Amino acid sequence: MTEYRLTPLALSLPATVPFVGPETQERAMGLAFDARLGANENVFGPSPLAKEAMCATEMWMYGDPESHDLRAALAAHHNTTMDHIVVGEGIDGLLSYLVRLFVGPDDAVVTSDGAYPTFNYHVAGFGGALHKVPYRDDHEDPAALFAKAAEVDAKLVYIANPDNPMGSWHKGADLAEAMKDLPKNTLLVLDEAYVDTAPEGTALPLPLDDPRLIRMRTFSKAYGLAGARVGYAIGAPELITAFHKVRNHFGMNRAAQVGALAALKDQIWLAQVIRQVSDARNRIAAIARAHGLTPLPSAANFVAIDCGQDGAFAKSVLDGLVARGIFVRMPFAAPQNRCIRISCGTQEQLGALEAALPAALAEAKRG
């Protein structure tokens, strides 16, 4: 075959990924990072019960294509029924299925400029027309998002609460009030990946079967299972049932299923991790202030740090940290790209950040 007969849509797409992984950078540099503080992973790790369960898993068997036991436990945890919940390969996988269900060529979708790029990646992959609105005071702007959705007759509108990459958040009650202006035929995709580390009252106080929205949750952040890829969505049964039309029924591996189930049962470990995340946020903020930078309030497991100038300066600071063995990331859209983003780390990792930051800043100022 001399020419692969890709679809016109596939031919039009760039062969890229939404994020450059730290492993890619390590291979390019020829050395490992001293502190991996860029991917918003939970460095404090999963529950020992989850590790034990995963190690004991008989991996010669496929995972349960219905994720029955995990869905049953999640239903009990959220005081609902299993038909309100679908499990998938992280929120990223669930977003792909959702977009596949709703978005065809030129269908309108709305998000914030600079928000989580994997959602945009899936919209592009199915030919959707992506419309963006700017952040407002470093927060996603529900009023502007919903107004744009009405203007373009959007099928989906995406909001993360708490937000990535800024760490900002809206009170759940405020978001519920804003939803009064959500267009009738638009589905709100509410990404709550960081809700476990957020203040009380951040979760949306609406019935789990409210037909206007679908909630996305994950075991990657507070539960410490990013490598296992376990996410779940909560919504009206009619919407959840539609996932079974398109999802990869054997996409969930068996160890991930049992690990998530064990992690969910260990709420004591989860509470400990949340305290560690809070302590780490405080230390990151203190390090930033000590060097004349401004940490933004965060409800996530990272802190966005305002470097006080433009995106080029922030990128210079980031490059200086990377060159000194500290993996960090930054927002990619102005004006949020004046910031760098530091994931919560251990005391040793944050000590490495503190040691590397003065030279990285000095180098950026000289540049």
Q: Could you tell me the CATH number of the domain that includes residue 187?
A: 3.40.640.10
CA 2, chain centre distance (Å): 40
pLDDT reading at 348 higher than 90 = yes
Instruction: Kindly state the average pLDDT of the residues 305-326.
Output: 98
One domain for residues 168 and 181:
yes
Inter-residue contact 320 to 360 (CB < 8 Å): yes
- Stated pTM of the model: 0.96
Q: Which of 221, 237, 265 is the last residue of a domain?
A: 265
Phi, psi angles (nearest 5°) of residue 174: -70, -40
The answer to the question of residue 98 being in a domain is: yes
The C-alpha atoms of residue 87 and residue 191 are separated, in whole angstroms, by 14
Domain that holds residue 316: 20-45+268-366
Specify whether 222 is located in the same domain as 188. yes
Q: Is residue 329 part of a domain?
A: yes
What does pLDDT average to over the chain? 97
Whether the per-residue pLDDT at 78 is higher than 70: the answer is yes
Do the domain assignments include residue 94? yes
CATH number at residue 312: 3.90.1150.10
User: What local confidence, expressed as pLDDT, does residue 1 receive?
Assistant: 64
φ, ψ at 205 (rounded to 5°) = -90, 55
180 HSE (CA, 13 A, CB side): 4
pLDDT for 3 beyond 90: no
Within this chain, do residues 67 and 212 fall inside the same structural domain, yes or no?
yes
